[in-house]
A and B are shown apart, each in its own frame.
Chain A
Amino acid sequence: MDSFFFLVILAGAIAGASTGLLGAYVVGMRMPFIGICISHAAMVGTIYSILFGVNPVWGPVVFSAASSMSLGMVRPGRSRIDANVALAIFFNLMLGLTFLGIGLMHGSRSEVLGLLWGSLLFVRKSSVAVITISGLVFVIFAALFNKELKVLLFSRTIASATGVHESFVYCFFLALCGLILAVNLPLVGGLMIFSLITCPAAAAYQICKGHRSVIVAATVFGTASAVIGFLVSYYLDLPTGACIVIVSATIFAVSALYRTFRG
């Protein structure tokens, strides 16, 4: 096994683990759509930083953090539109801005199109370091605020009414959500990141009992989706992104079947 191969697997595993873990919270809070919204905001950030010649690291981080914070302002039961409708509108706006940016671009667009599906195969050591650090930051956050996050998962209404520091923890969570999505986006792409947030976590919620096992299972399933997906694509010479998405969906399907037949 050469070192390039190892680096790709490592990058995939870390990206899968951190998005899988993040997904456990995003799916548990019944807002998986937030993932695709924020990752597209990050995409818009990247495209416009390329367009205006700014360092393309900061654009997505700023954009996704800003968008996740503003999505956090949409309070359940307080705003006049359903949170999912708000997210859908936001998503459309981001998609519009994405394609506007692509349209405005001159010369090669491959870098930008790579954002849709990611470029895991062109990963560099520095980006592996960045996703590892941001993943660890999220793990530390989840450990420190474990008890608050559990209440937030169960009910933001209860959390807020009963004096849990809900807005503080939720805003912190959304900011980190933006960070994880932004730094993983160049690697896994906007479309695949959505499936890595949703499928492993949804599978974990099917078969697990207790919060801790959900967290562990979602992380493991996320890692497995990325690694198995990559290996399948490598040995069968298929597109990497597509394989990862299909593996993660398969993991979900197997867990759903398991829950159905086990009762």
Chain B
Amino acid sequence: MIGGHITLSNIEVRWSGRIILAIKEIQIRQGEFAGIIGTNGAGKTTFLKVCCGLIKPTQGTVELDGRDLAGLNAWRKANVRKHIGYIPQAAEYNAELPFTLRELVAMGRTSVKPLLSPLKKEDYEIADNWIDRLALSDRRSQTFRSLSGGEQQKALIARAMTQDPEILMLDEPCSNLDFNWKYQITEIIDQLHSVSKITVLMVSHDTSLLPESCKRIVLLHEGDVLADGDIEDVLEPESLEKAYQCRVDILKLAGRRYTINKS
């Protein structure tokens, strides 16, 4: 069964009484590529974490392929999430551990395999396959910590892909990368989406990082959905000016949209 359908309804996330996220209703359809954008503190990461059940909303329901996450115990919740590929921000993983690239990529298979069944040769073959596809072959036996930032990001994507994901969630996958790596990483995400037709949710600060196959934008502002819809409709000066509180121009260049502060 191909899944990857997310429905959020009447979501409210509070933190010390303050509302971090308030969403009436959002559906992410299977196979869709949605970009989550917004100002700092708009609730982008929280949105992503609510979608994959890392943050339990104070109110409302999150449904993953029709199954309400809140109604599941820890065990079944884990089973529902095994086809979510998640790429967090750098602060949320320990890049200093001496895992080899191959070990790290093969880790994705842990989600798919049941408890007590160790990774086997075929799991490492799947890992090797993704390492080759993302052009990391000559780094295979190096440690993750010795790789460059861009290579590490590729490794994390490869790791997620070995899970055979139905949904790929990326939290600022290009922060700290130079412009060329930014382009390369987003192109990889673009290709993965077009080839495998998985659902992609990507949080980004920078509209120019959203690749061509990203057709839908959710614009968050202070925890609310300010705009949600086709990229053409959402990425226009009026809604962005509301969110960013400055005059905005949008520059289209080579299929990407650059947001520029005009004031």
Contacts and interface: CB of A to CB of B under 8 A. Distances in A.
A261 interface: no
- Category for how many chain A residues contact B: 35 or more
B92 interface: yes
Interface string A148-185: 10110111011011111111100000000000000000
B32 to A, nearest CB: 19
A205 interface: yes
B16 interface: yes
A161 B74 contact: no
A144 interface: yes
A173 B50 CA distance: 26
Contacts of A209: 98, 100, 143
A141 B104 CA distance: 21
Given A154-B93, A154-B104, A163 B78 contact: yes
- Category for how many chain B residues contact A: 35 or more
A163 B84 CA distance: 8
A211 interface: yes
A146 interface: yes
Contacts of B98: 205, 208-211, 213-214
Given A147-B119, A163-B81, A30 B94 contact: yes
Given A154-B93, A208-B98, A144 B88 contact: no
Chain A at the B interface: mostly helix, strand, loop or mixed? helix
Chain B at the A interface: mostly helix, strand, loop or mixed? mixed
Contacts of A157: 54, 86, 88, 92-93
Contact of B169 (A147, A161, A165): A161
A227 to B, nearest CB: 25
A80 B92 CA distance: 16
B80 A210 contact: no
Interface of A: 28-30, 76-78, 80, 144-148, 150-151, 153-155, 157-158, 160-168, 205, 208-211, 213-214
15 contacts: A144-B116, A148-B110, A150-B107, A151-B107, A151-B111, A153-B94, A154-B93, A154-B107, A157-B86, A158-B88, A162-B163, A163-B80, A168-B115, A210-B99, A211-B103
Interface of B: 15-16, 49, 52-55, 74-75, 77-86, 88, 92-94, 96-100, 103-104, 107-111, 113, 115-116, 118-119, 143, 160, 163, 169
